[in-house]
Amino acid sequence: MIATWGRGASGAKSLTLNSHIDVVSWEEGADAWSVHPLAGEVRDDRIIGRGAVDAKGQIVAACMALLGLRDVGLEPEGTVMLMSVVDEEPGGNGTLAACLEGLSADAAIVLEPTGNHVAYGHRGIVDLRVTVQSAAGHGAVAGAAPGGAVVRAADIIPALSSVLHGWHAPQDAVYGPPSLNIGRIEGGEDIFSVPRRCTLDAGLRYAPGTGEAVLAAARDGLARAGVGWDEDSAPEVARVVSHYDAAETPPAHRLIQGLLGAAQRFAPGATLTTFPGGCDARHLVNRGGIPTAIFGAGELSSAHRADEAVPIAELVTTAQTLAWFIMEWAGCHRNGSPAA
């Protein structure tokens, strides 16, 4: 859903505020929560609930900013859009659809938890799947040293992680070095048989501009371990299953610097940063060609876990920062007497 507000005056700049209303699942692991995941309970000045910080709370902050401006009788000269999108968590089809339908704006802010620091980019993720196949056999004749596809797959993990040791690139200082997560390993048939097949799913995260190099390093490391690359005939093969690209807007861009100035007005410690997770900024930047910042209340470390929470004071700071930035970016016209 996209709500639009402002006069759309020629020469005035437009702005899109974007965040998502879909959330990760809460049913599984609900017993680890201290409240019902959908209760939205307030405790210690924090709102607790699935989506509190990622990212329904952020949508509320954006609404507070817009309603606050309206309530003091201000209206943007340019156009301000509020995009409430779905399907961000699995890959961003909501924002992607808007970009494909011709969404255009002079700038965008994707509202995600950054502790009210201003992020100008985020890392990309390559999902690799390594498939290992080996000869099956009776478990009774396997001997003392186990073999088969499961053991072989486990041996491949250090080969994969070693290629990232000592990695160095200029972006490391802000984005951190590439990281590897072995997300899933699945194989074997039963305890009576030497496993015939095993798959290993690994997520490789990389800084903008380093995707090709990181992937090449992974490919080389796997080749040294005897794993083929994208060859249907190889018994041990790795391939890219999916790819969520990285995105960046130059930190010197007036969007980034303007938002940083607004953020520091309400939180003097606000700094420039980068976002460690992926988000819909990639579609706005790479598909929509829209300069994009990532900004919002709370900590990413609180998301996707039990007792997800957002501090109310941080939501207020987010709303104040957005309102101030909208006034500066889109211009604001006093609209007669304040609204009731």
> Which of the stretches 30-38, 98-106, 109-117, 172-180 binds Zn ion when contact is defined by CB under 5 A?
109-117
Minimum distance from residue 56 beta carbon to Zn ion (Å): 10
Q: Does 290 bind Zn ion (CB under 5 A)?
A: no
Minimum distance from residue 295 beta carbon to Zn ion (Å): 12
Minimum distance from residue 226 beta carbon to Zn ion (Å): 39
State the pairing for strand pair 197-206/124-133: antiparallel
Binding mask 25-54 for Zn ion (x = CB under 5 A): -----------------------------x
CB nearer Zn ion, residue 55 or residue 215: 55
CB nearer Zn ion, residue 80 or residue 303: 303
Q: Which of the residues 170 through 229 are near Zn ion (CB under 5 A)?
A: none
Using the Cα atoms of residue 84, residue 87, residue 89 and residue 92 in order, give the sign of their dihedral.
negative
User: What is the C-alpha to C-alpha distance for residues 290 and 282, in angstroms, rounded to an integer?
Assistant: 10
CB nearer Zn ion, residue 87 or residue 127: 87
CB nearer Zn ion, residue 218 or residue 279: 279
User: What is the C-alpha to C-alpha distance for residues 53 and 39, in angstroms, rounded to an integer?
Assistant: 14
CB nearer Zn ion, residue 89 or residue 106: 89
Nearest residue to Zn ion, scored by beta-carbon proximity: 54
CA 81 from chain centre, in angstroms, equals: 21
Q: 256 vs 98, 182, 251, CA distance in Å?
A: 23, 34, 6
CB nearer Zn ion, residue 54 or residue 308: 54
Minimum distance from residue 296 beta carbon to Zn ion (Å): 9
Minimum distance from residue 52 beta carbon to Zn ion (Å): 11
Q: Which helix (H) or strand (E) holds 260?
A: helix 254-266
Q: Using the rule CB under 5 A, which residue among 48, 55, 85, 315 binds Zn ion?
A: 55
Total residues binding Zn ion (CB under 5 A): 3
Minimum distance from residue 84 beta carbon to Zn ion (Å): 13
CB nearer Zn ion, residue 54 or residue 314: 54
Minimum distance from residue 53 beta carbon to Zn ion (Å): 8
Minimum distance from residue 245 beta carbon to Zn ion (Å): 17
User: What is the C-alpha to C-alpha distance for residues 322 and 297, in angstroms, rounded to an integer?
Assistant: 11
DSSP E strands: which ranges in the chain? 2-6, 15-20, 41-43, 46-48, 74-76, 79-85, 108-111, 118-122, 124-133, 137-138, 179-187, 193-194, 197-206, 228-229, 236-244, 247-248, 272-275, 292-295, 309-311, 332-334
User: What is the C-alpha to C-alpha distance for residues 270 and 325, in angstroms, rounded to an integer?
Assistant: 14
Q: What are phi and psi of 60, to 5 degrees?
A: -60, -45
Q: Which helix (H) or strand (E) holds 203?
A: strand 197-206
Residues that bind Zn ion (CB under 5 A): 54-55, 112
